[in-house]
Amino acid sequence: MDGEAELFYRQLPKVELHAHLNGSVSVRTIDRLIGRKPHLNIQHSMTAIGKGQRRTLDDVALKKEKQFICPECQQMFSFSFQVATDVIREFAADSVKYLELRSTPREEKNTGLTKKGYIETVIRAIQLCKDEGLDIDVRFLVAIDRRNGTQVAMETVALAEQFLLSSDGLVVGLDLSGDPTVGNGKALLPALERAKNCGLKMSLHLSEVQSQLEETDLLLNLPPNRIGHGTFLHPEVGGSQNLVDKVLKNSIPLELCLTSNVKGQTVPSYSQHHFKYWYQLGHPSVICTDDKGVFSTDLSQEYQLAASTFGLSHAAMWKLSQQAIDCIFAPETVKQQLRQKWTDLQPQLFQ
């Protein structure tokens, strides 16, 4: 890789809007956590997907969960605080100035951790990084795992609603994720409508796999505030013009994750990534990592990859990172601060 280009993307101020907390944990962090509990003999082979390797979503989700389970006692260990602070520090070191982390609240019967406690733990980690003066503004999206059905979705929205009111602006919205081949969006609609009505911003994984036209059409009517992936929205890949029109009409930004889609095998190659389709339309698209730990990537690499694949200049990539500010869920005052930061940093990058 060209060293000068690499430095440019590393220094480029960036906005990360699609990062699953547990999928963002780096191998380094896992090694450190395992090192602290050597007696547990925790396995973590194959937790990260190296260059050229591919995995299915199921594979990855399961392996990511397993790495924190002690094989002897089957106990789940709560490393959430350490994991969250490490992930935030790594994004900050990669010149990410604004980060929306998302995670599925979980409870652990044996440690007494509740879903509410889980969210509080992540919030404490965000607060610690803030107190340390890290140059990154971090917000949180509470994730609904679509595999868990209507009831859990409703409970998750209620939790998110509580934190929206009590977290000092740190919890800004909701994410819908999980294995896209399992569960159906229609059953989740009442929960999502409730979320919308109480002022939670919504980012939904939509059309991540093929043949979800009906579900996507239904959920686009909400409409969501952002779309995760949207890989199969456009007609050339089995979507439809009607879906595209809905996205355009409501100007719903897309979160695009190149490495994740290629390694996850929903997109056959980088040059065939739907980034091209939406970029050519001038539609707001934000480059993101999805699961930087799982896919052995970071946001600088994703920007560089998009630039080299589609022949985009440094100036064009600067504009992309700047326009991502318009798509964040934090309020207008935060957008203004970020725009100022970009203005201040520009001369350093283009001298």
Ligand X SMILES: CC(C)=CCNc1ncnc2c1ncn2[C@@H]1O[C@H](COP(=O)(O)O)[C@@H](O)[C@H]1O
Q: Does 177 help bind ligand X (rule: CB under 6 A)? A: yes
Provide the terminal-to-terminal Cα distance of the chain, rounded to the nearest Å. Answer: 22
Q: Is 161 a catalytic residue?
A: no
User: What CA–CA distance (Å, rounded) separates 287 from 284?
Assistant: 10
In one letter, which amino acid is 138? Answer: V
146 binds, among Zn ion, ligand X, none (CB under 5 to 8 A by kind): none
Residue nearest to ligand X (CB): 264
**Token pair 């000092």: residue:** 168
Q: Does 21 help bind ligand X (rule: CB under 6 A)? A: yes
User: What CA–CA distance (Å, rounded) separates 187 from 193?
Assistant: 11
Selected binder of ligand X within 13, 14, 17, 23 (CB under 6 A)? 23
Q: Do 334 and 201 touch, CB atoms closer than 8 A?
A: no
Residues 186-225 that bind ligand X (CB under 6 A): 205, 208
260 binds, among Zn ion, ligand X, none (CB under 5 to 8 A by kind): ligand X
| CB 120 to ligand X: min, Å | 15
Please enumerate, as own/partner, the contacts of 320-325 that have beta carbons within 8 Å and a separation of 24 or more.
320/285, 320/286, 320/287, 321/12, 321/13, 321/14, 321/15, 321/287, 323/284, 323/286, 324/14, 324/15, 324/17, 324/286, 324/287, 325/15, 325/98
Q: Mask: binding to Zn ion, 266-305, rule CB under 5 A, as x and -?
A: ------------------------x---------------
208 binds, among Zn ion, ligand X, none (CB under 5 to 8 A by kind): ligand X
Which C-beta is closer to ligand X: that of 86 or that of 291? 291
The 3-state DSSP class for residue 120 equals helix
Question: Catalytic positions, please?
Answer: 208
Question: Which residues of this protein are in contact with ligand X, per CB under 6 A?
Answer: 20-23, 55-57, 60-61, 64, 103-104, 143, 145, 177-178, 180, 205, 208, 260, 264, 290-291, 294
